[in-house]
Structure 1
């Protein structure tokens, strides 16, 4: 059952365990390999249905009514649009001169980025219209193109300010999305401000700037990553680079936790409002746990590969020449593909699922009793946006 706070707010519960999700992931992994990736649309749908249908809000579960065939058809439609567009861009860039070709490539890249943002907005609309709670469907209005150009303008400003405008970008985009989000006839709203997120994230920004631009400053001052030219510059450079990568990898989940808490506290739908108490290290713990499990799998897989490789070599199946036989290359490619899918499956079990659980269970929702929405008359959206996002590799849950 849901947890009710002392002031009557309801805290959602998530009932999906790793043990219950494992058969779904195992089936999806196997069929994705067998179908050479084609099953991923149905696999993605099954994972969403597991997450949605195991999330309980005030005694009732969410429902996800999307279908894999919808995503597949949306993907095919997107390819029918994108392939001719890519072909035309390539042809124009080839026939044009060097300068004109660069201009064409720049315009094409900008167009792809705009299209990706449009697709993300439309994909969110698709997921909302496939989400039902207590028999009432969520909806999303608004223009995907307006959202896309707004995103591009804010992204350019964020780049020019070295990330300082990011909180205000997030506030503007979330305000646009939430104001066009509906639960039946109840409209959403977003009250959090960019200034609030800026104050909470400025320390992380300062640390990130130090980690990223520190090595650059050392190079500018000393001409090398090692202040002592006679010292072990190679090892010093790698030490600084690794430290920077590790630091940024830690800062990202910390920032995501800060941003989610800020975002959830600013969300409302009709009379229902939310407040969030997600801890700063909640997502970092999930990432570290996944990294540990992935590292363990990597070690075990490496040992198995070494044993199998030695057995093949001892049996003379790898050949005695400098170039490995075709069979060995095919097996290596297949092993790489399967390993990548297994890492993705582990992420579903030990990354996506716990992040989903922590996100929902950290929120308390007030005013649910007054949220008496009528079913919206808007029809469910198609999956074209999902298809474009998938084709451009911008998909997500």
Structure 2
């Protein structure tokens, strides 16, 4: 549909993102600091504020997206989810204890499957919550469909992915994305997904092959050599290959994310509007490289300051005392405080130089055709609750 529209001379609309790192910094700094001070409770409001910053600065066709979610909704959804998740963990633990070692093994596997199923259910419902809190030109997005059906599809596909060493992953992605998009609505306009698993397989096969060769090969060789001659020097080539693996994986991962995003965006449409994506292969890699560069500079600065402080403490005999005293306790307390400050700084750097530029590139690499016809959509979507997002947060599967 997109190619046809372009061939007919239709002018596409390219979204833009107006948020700078300087504008985002106060939101991130305040949110992370209050999250620590409130022992994690404020993170629901912090997440909401970050989303509002990202959503509300995306301009499409002269109008901005609007995020209407509230932190209290996420907090209540989390509390309700805990009432479901904690008893589930309790039952699994009790049964495994009651049945002994064999029961422990069985129920650990059952628990793993149950958590995967619950996570996929939660992610589907969380997506529904975010869509129903997203408005453009006064019309609300919506998601229909069954979270249980989506979770069952995800679990079945996950088993096939494991059995085929990832070969069927593209078809899993296509199937799940098709289910999500056909259940996505903008007012009374239904979404659709036209990209296929075969298309993604062709674009990502070389990366998959590289990962299998680089990962499975060296590990198998290394294991075989270690079994034959433990600690032998001839295992060094396999060790070298593993070192190369750690260097290649971030590049491969970032490139694949760009391939998959472009494949996904080119397949998405809602009503008469369809997308065309021209994201470059290394655009996400540039973001990750920039983020790690900032982290490296920050780490060097922290190391230099820390080294200077350690030298001064040592020169004044604080670190040489045999018995702990007030000075030593103060140093220990200061060390704990510095640890939390550094952790907050790393989290803030990721939001500013990771999440924000990826969000911007994701939108600005897309051109939308048929947008004027979509403007006739009528809003008729009910608002969803945050229960699914609460479950996702309770089992640590949350996200933007």
Equivalent-residue separation in structure 2 for 1:9 and 1:134 (angstroms) = 18
Q: TM-score, normalised by structure 2?
A: 0.91
**Partner residue of 1:63?**
66
Equivalent-residue separation in structure 2 for 1:160 and 1:23 (angstroms) = 47
**Partner residue of 2:170?**
167
CA gap of 1:99–1:194, structure 2 versus 1, over 3 A, is same
Alignment of 1:375 onto 2:379: yes
Q: TM-score, normalised by structure 1?
A: 0.92
Structure 1 residues 160-185: Cα deviation after superposition (integer angstroms, max 9, x where no partner): 11111110000000000000000000
Structure 1 residues 4-46: Cα deviation after superposition (integer angstroms, max 9, x where no partner): x963110111111112112212222222232232221111111
What SS does the corresponding residue of 1:62 show, helix, strand or coil? strand
Contact 1:287–1:351 under 8 Å retained in 2:
yes
**Partner residue of 1:98?**
101
Equivalent-residue separation in structure 2 for 1:245 and 1:368 (angstroms) = 43
What's the offset of the Cα at 1:78? 1.4
What SS does the corresponding residue of 2:368 show, helix, strand or coil? strand
Equivalent-residue separation in structure 1 for 2:339 and 2:247 (angstroms) = 25
What's the offset of the Cα at 1:310? 3.6
Equivalent-residue separation in structure 2 for 1:187 and 1:289 (angstroms) = 38
Alignment partner for residue 138 of structure 2, among 106, 131, 135?
A: 135
What's the offset of the Cα at 1:306? 2.5
Alignment of 1:343 onto 2:327: no
Alignment partner for residue 216 of structure 2, among 213, 217, 229?
A: 213
Equivalent-residue separation in structure 1 for 2:229 and 2:221 (angstroms) = 8
**Partner residue of 1:253?**
254
What's the offset of the Cα at 1:224? 7.4
Alignment of 1:20 onto 2:9: no
What's the offset of the Cα at 1:246? 1.8
Structure 1 residues 151-210: Cα deviation after superposition (integer angstroms, max 9, x where no partner): 111111111111111100000000000000000000000000000000000111111112
CA gap of 1:110–1:321, structure 2 versus 1, over 3 A, is farther
**Partner residue of 2:202?**
199
Alignment partner for residue 121 of structure 1, among 118, 121, 124?
A: 124
**Partner residue of 2:266?**
265
CA gap of 1:14–1:93, structure 2 versus 1, over 3 A, is same
What's the offset of the Cα at 1:123? 0.5
Structure 2 counterparts to residues 296-311 of structure 1, below 5 A: 296-311=297-312
Alignment of 1:239 onto 2:240: yes
Structure 2 counterparts to residues 73-112 of structure 1, below 5 A: 73-112=76-115
Equivalent-residue separation in structure 1 for 2:323 and 2:261 (angstroms) = 53
**Partner residue of 1:176?**
179
Contact 1:257–1:281 under 8 Å retained in 2:
yes
Alignment of 1:388 onto 2:391: yes
CA gap of 1:316–1:73, structure 2 versus 1, over 3 A, is farther
Contact 2:193–2:267 under 8 Å retained in 1:
yes
What's the offset of the Cα at 1:307? 2.6
What SS does the corresponding residue of 1:216 show, helix, strand or coil? helix
CA RMSD of aligned residues (A): 2.4
What SS does the corresponding residue of 1:97 show, helix, strand or coil? helix
Equivalent-residue separation in structure 1 for 2:60 and 2:177 (angstroms) = 23
CA gap of 1:391–1:327, structure 2 versus 1, over 3 A, is farther
Structure 1 portions without partners, runs of 5+? none
Equivalent-residue separation in structure 2 for 1:55 and 1:264 (angstroms) = 16
What's the offset of the Cα at 1:245? 1.6
